Amino acid sequence: MTLLEELKNAIINVEPKKAEETTHLLLNQGVGAADILNQALIPGMDEVGRLFKEGEYYVPEVLVAAKAMNATLNLIEPLLIQGDVPRRGKIVIGTVEGDLHDIGKNLVSMMWKGAGYTIVDLGVDVTPERFVEAVRQEKPDYLAISALLTSTMLHIPAVIQALQAAGLRDDVKVLVGGAPLSQPFANEIGADGYAADATDAVSLVRRIDLEETGT
Partner 1 sequence: MMFRRADREPDFENLRLVLQKKAPPRAVLFEFLIGEHKEKKLTGAEYRTDTEFDRVVTTIKAFDSGGYDFAPIIVRGLSFERKTHFVSHAQTKSLNEGSVIVDRRSFENYTWPEIANCDFSIITEAAAYLHPKAKLIPFSHDGILENVIGIVGYERLCLMLYEDKTLVSEIFAEVGKRILSYFQACLPYPEVGAVILNDDWGFNTHTLISPRDLRQHVFPWYKRIVAMAHDYGKCAILHSCGKYDAILEDIFDMGFDARHSYEDGITPVEKAYDALKGRLAVLGGIDVGFLARESAEAVYERSTRMLRRAAALGGYALGSGNSVPDYIPDENYLAMLQAAFDWEKQEGGRV
Piece in contact with partner 1 (CB under 8 A), picked from 33-41, 103-111, 131-139, 207-215: 103-111
Q: Least distance (Å) from partner 1 to the CB of residue 95?
A: 8
User: Residue 124 Cβ, how far from partner 1 at the closest point, in Å?
Assistant: 6
- CB count within 10 Å of CB 187 equals 10
Rounded to whole angstroms, the Cα distance separating 215 from 88 reads: 9
Residues 33, 116: contact at Cβ < 8 Å?
no
Tell whether residue 99 is a contact of partner 1 (CB under 8 A).
Answer: yes
Pick between residue 35 and residue 61 the one whose CB is nearest to partner 1. Answer: 61
Note whether 164 binds partner 1 by CB under 8 A: no
Q: Pick the binder of partner 1 from 2, 25, 59, 164 (CB under 8 A).
A: 59
Smallest distance, Å, CB 180 to partner 1? 5
Dump strand ranges (E) for 60-186: 90-95, 118-121, 142-146, 173-177
Of the pair 138, 197, the CB lying nearest partner 1 is at 197
Is 177 within 8 Å of 201 (Cβ atoms)?
yes
Site for partner 1 contains 150 (CB under 8 A): yes
Strand residue runs (E) in the chain? 90-95, 118-121, 142-146, 173-177, 193-194
Query: What pairing do the DSSP bridges indicate for beta strands 142-146 and 173-177?
Result: parallel
Work out how close the CB of 5 gets to partner 1 at its nearest, in angstroms, rounded to a whole number.
22
192: contact with partner 1 by CB under 8 A: no
- Crossing angle (nearest 10°) for helices 156-165 and 128-138: 50
Closer by beta carbon to partner 1, 41 or else 148? 148
What is the enclosing helix (H) or strand (E) of 203?
helix 198-213
Catalog residues that contact partner 1 under the rule CB under 8 A.
14, 52, 55, 57-61, 63-64, 67, 97-104, 106, 124-125, 148-152, 179-180, 182, 196-197
